[in-house]
Amino acid sequence: MNLLDLSQASPQARAASPAQVQLDHQGRLRHFLDIEGLPRSILTEILDTADHFRGIGDAEVKKVPLLRGRTVANLFFENSTRTRATFELAAKRLSADVLNLDINTSSAAKGESLMDTLVNLEAMQADAFVVRHGDSGAAHFIASQITPNVAIINAGDGRHAHPTQAMLDMLTIRRHKGEFANLRVAIVGDILHSRVARSQILALNTLGAAEVRVVAPQTLLPVGIETLGCRVFTELEAGLKDVDVVIMLRLQKERMDGALLPSESEYYRRYGLTRESLAHAHPEAVVMHPGPINRGVEIESAVADGPRSLILDQVTNGIAVRMAVLSMAVSGQMKARAERRDERTRGAGA
Amino acid sequence: MKHSLINARVIDPSSGRDGQHDLHLEGGRLVAIGAAPLGFVAEQQQDLTGKWITPAFVDLGAHLRDPGPRYKGSLVSESAAALAGGYATILPRPDTSPVLDSASHVRTLLDRARDVAGVRLAPLGALTQGLEGDLLANMAALKSAGCVALTNLRKPVRDLGVLRRCLEYAHTFDITVVFQAQEATLAGHGCAHEGAIASRLGLAGIPESAETIALTQWLLLIEQTGVRAHVSLLSSARAVALIRDAKARGLDITADVSMAQLHWTDEQLEGFNANFHLEPPLRSAKDRDALRAGVADGTIDAIVSDHLPHEAAAKCAPFAVSEPGMTSLETMLPLGLALVNAGMLSMPRLIESLTFSARRFGLEGGRLQEGECCDLAIIDPQCCWTVGSDTLLSAGHNTPLLGMTLTGRVHQVLLGNAVYA
């Protein structure tokens, strides 16, 4: 029982929920920080918009003018070549100007605080920040601190969330399996450290998947993960039984040093996705992986390159989803800004 | 000067007194409770109808930040905050800069406190040199210089052989040892209670076993060495049970909990509110309820502030890299009253828990006794006030209560001849 009603506290002492931060008062997307707090309608809108944008990649001129004159800043406090490249390409296909900043090796290394960095970047008048950060909650923190005119897109924060990766996976699943209602999905690997897995579980549940499973040894399972809405398996064969989608996660080599696993070879024997282990899944099950893959550690080459693998499809879909999210969030900000301007004008007139 | 305080509800757990009594003071001493002594003519009479008088509070373990990062707080600012919260004495922790591991550092602090602070200091000294956990501190010298107990805080003494020697040496010189139980190798780089909420937020967890395993080791060594011990900042239900068992076995052990742990749980971490980044972390509702029950039945002897003021920038960061701690001296009373009003504690038990450290550490105060120096707090239980930058005297405003209206406030503190309002 809480004895004090903290909702009375001042905004600076309170933390806003993901829904409060991400959506404006009309339910439009202002920021894209986390799957949590977003309704199914927004996720579906992202998927529908991404489906539409997917065709642009096949066109002769791979550009639309939706964000012409707008600036998207990629703020990567943590390295990620692939994610940054797809965000850059997505912004450019929307005709935005793109600023890439690898903050890990510049200002932060000189001791500049995160807030100082943000204030300076804000002064450059970007319309969207794509943020990758090693600390959970960093994107949420940035969204709560900066001017409401900048859309924040989370490109991965600590172990917390990687919502665009989850949405590109959802797009990939939907394009191959149709609706989610009858799907059983298994996520296999390092759930403990995976921001992708957390976002995938939430997205699959929001979109109405029949069953979400996580499969890992206990050392790679976060305590209470089942409360996110998934069944927990510690044996691969049982976890894969009759599933329609298998999502493999990348295994970082330092997990061996951290005494979480004894060796790569034992991990591969128990949790590696091979043709034999895949046979436990539904005969038409598809295989996904956020990449880059460790062949012979979490997945067999024959599976990664096989006919049921959607790994390259995921990359293509990644650009379309990021275009969708950028365009929705920036246009949401623009509409909100216009409304604030109108309100001020009306106020001045009155 | 002769001074009478009349018509107040007087609550003094040490004597079992709880009722309307008049207090009569002369020269900073309490000369009578009830009727005035023969020939006593008050030069000043204060009618305290509707107010309560209790012994001024004594807090184990507030961080003063001085010497050290004074931009977070200084002797002046935090002393003022302590007095505003109803405290006569605080037992500051040794993790200052320099660490309180030498008699000269302790004397310097106490000398400065006499010059600038109104509140009395009874510092905790370091158990090991530099709090590094390797070499015994000069314990006897620290005691002579004014330290009332020794602690290594949450910093590990990795070698259990060294720890055993620390306790034996402390026992030799009859010094109380204060523990904060946390096994560093299990806590790792965690910043939140290991559970479903930390998992969903992607925050590294600190398991309950980090507390209970360390506590179990300490208890076995306390039993073996016979040292007088106090366990500070309990956070889990199982730790409460361990203390209950240890007391039942006859160990000379006492314990405390922070006020924050009695009010909140890890659910407050939703939205990454860095104001709730604390050490030890806020745990589950089951743990909080066990801690409340532990205070109510006396297993947990004291409620402490765990006051740790910060500048705004320390909390203006993603949760895990924000600095842990909360400013709390000034909000202890209204939060305690909230527990009383909810029927979780009696008012005398609350006051007993806020003054317990005086008795445990052999300090003056903590009770209303005829003939003794008068340290008392006058409380306005109905006063509603808003926690804000303009009302807090601590340099740190790092509290989730900012902007909230609380009920109950310390109206005045009398320390001997000095009156703080």
pLDDT score, position A106:
59
Cβ atoms < 10 Å from Cβ of A338: 10
Tokens of A62: 């791979």
Are A2 and B196 a contacting pair at CB < 8 A? Answer: no
Nearest to B338 among A4, A10, A138 (CB): A4
Residue B264: list chain A partners with CB under 8 A: 2
Separation CA A271–CA A275 (nearest Å): 12
Residue B207: list chain A partners with CB under 8 A: 223
Are B402 and A9 a contacting pair at CB < 8 A? Answer: yes
Residue that has been written with the tokens 């976060």 in this structure: A222
| CA–CA min distance B342, chain A (Å) | 7
Termini Cα distance of chain B: 18
Per-residue confidence of chain A (350 residues) as pLDDT tens digits? 789 999 899 988 888 888 889 998 889 999 999 999 999 999 999 999 999 999 888 888 889 999 999 999 999 998 888 899 999 999 999 999 999 987 865 555 555 678 888 888 888 889 999 999 999 999 999 998 887 789 999 999 999 999 999 999 999 999 999 999 999 999 999 999 999 999 999 999 999 999 999 999 999 999 999 999 999 999 999 999 999 999 999 998 777 777 899 999 999 999 999 999 999 999 999 999 998 899 999 999 999 999 999 999 999 999 999 999 999 999 888 887 788 788 888 877 66
| CA–CA min distance B70, chain A (Å) | 20
Nearest to B318 among A138, A161, A225 (CB): A138
SS3 A118: helix
Are A115 and B271 a contacting pair at CB < 8 A? Answer: no
Nearest to A160 among B194, B202, B264 (CB): B202
Separation CA A187–CA A202 (nearest Å): 12
pTM of the model: 0.94
Residue B343: list chain A partners with CB under 8 A: none
Q: Which of A5, A10, A142, A232 to mutate to test the interface with B (most CBs of B within 10 A)?
A: A10
Taking 60 as the threshold, does the pLDDT of residue B147 lie above it?
Answer: yes
The backbone torsions φ and ψ at residue A223, rounded to the nearest 5 degrees and listed phi first, read: -60, 130
**Among candidate residues B421, B302, B414, the one with its CA nearest the CA of residue B54:** B414
Residue B321: list chain A partners with CB under 8 A: 135
Are B320 and A157 a contacting pair at CB < 8 A? Answer: no
Cis amide prior to A18 (ω within 30 degrees): no
Separation CA B332–CA B348 (nearest Å): 15
**Among candidate residues B151, B161, B166, the one with its CA nearest the CA of residue B256:** B151
Query: Which whole-number Å values give the CA distances from A17 to A1, A33, B28, in the listed order?
Result: 20, 11, 52
pLDDT tens-place string over residues B354-411 = 999 999 999 999 999 999 999 999 999 999 999 999 999 999 999 999 999 999 999 9
Name the residue in chain B with its Cα closest to that of A5.
B404
Separation CA B345–CA B21 (nearest Å): 23
ipTM: 0.92
pLDDT tens-place string over residues B303-325 = 999 999 999 999 999 999 999 99
Residue A133: list chain B partners with CB under 8 A: 318
SS3 B128: strand
Tell me, yes or no, if B306 is annotated catalytic. yes
Separation CA B341–CA B349 (nearest Å): 13
Set B101, B287, B301, B306: catalytic member: B306
Are A141 and B318 a contacting pair at CB < 8 A? Answer: yes
Residue A228: list chain B partners with CB under 8 A: 196, 199-200
| CA–CA min distance B220, chain A (Å) | 29
Could you tell me which residues come within 8 angstroms of residue A24 by beta carbon, excluding any fewer than 6 positions away? A30, A332, A336
pLDDT tens-place string over residues B199-247 = 999 999 999 999 999 999 999 999 999 999 999 999 999 999 999 999 9
Q: What share of chain B is helix, strand, coil (3-state, %, to 5)?
A: 35, 25, 40
Query: Which whole-number Å values give the CA distances from A278 to A151, A199, A221, A249, B280, in the listed order?
Result: 41, 24, 21, 15, 44
Residue A191: list chain B partners with CB under 8 A: none
The Cβ-side half-sphere exposure at A233, using a 13 Å CA radius, reads 20
In B104-123, which positions are buried (b, 16+ CB within 10 angstroms) versus exposed (e)? ebbeebbebbeeebbbbbbb
| CA–CA min distance A284, chain B (Å) | 31
Termini Cα distance of chain A: 47
| CA–CA min distance B110, chain A (Å) | 34
Tokens of A290: 């956020």
Taking 70 as the threshold, does the pLDDT of residue B113 lie above it?
Answer: yes
Separation CA A238–CA B231 (nearest Å): 46
pLDDT score, position A345:
83
Are A223 and B339 a contacting pair at CB < 8 A? Answer: no
Are A8 and B342 a contacting pair at CB < 8 A? Answer: no
Nearest to A8 among B200, B339, B405 (CB): B405
Per the document, the length of chain B is 421
Residue B320: list chain A partners with CB under 8 A: 135-137, 158
Q: At what angle do helices B208-225 and B237-248 cross, to 10 degrees?
A: 10
Separation CA A76–CA A108 (nearest Å): 11
Nearest to B196 among A135, A157, A227 (CB): A227
Using a CB–CB cut-off of 8 Å, the residues of A that contact B are 1-4, 6, 8-18, 21, 36, 113-115, 133, 135-138, 140-141, 145, 157-161, 195, 198, 222-225, 227-228
pLDDT score, position A17:
86
Are B405 and A3 a contacting pair at CB < 8 A? Answer: no
Separation CA A156–CA A86 (nearest Å): 13
| DSSP codes, B39-62 | T---SEEEE-TT-EEEEPEEEE--
**Among candidate residues A288, A287, A276, the one with its CA nearest the CA of residue A315:** A288
Cis amide prior to A39 (ω within 30 degrees): no
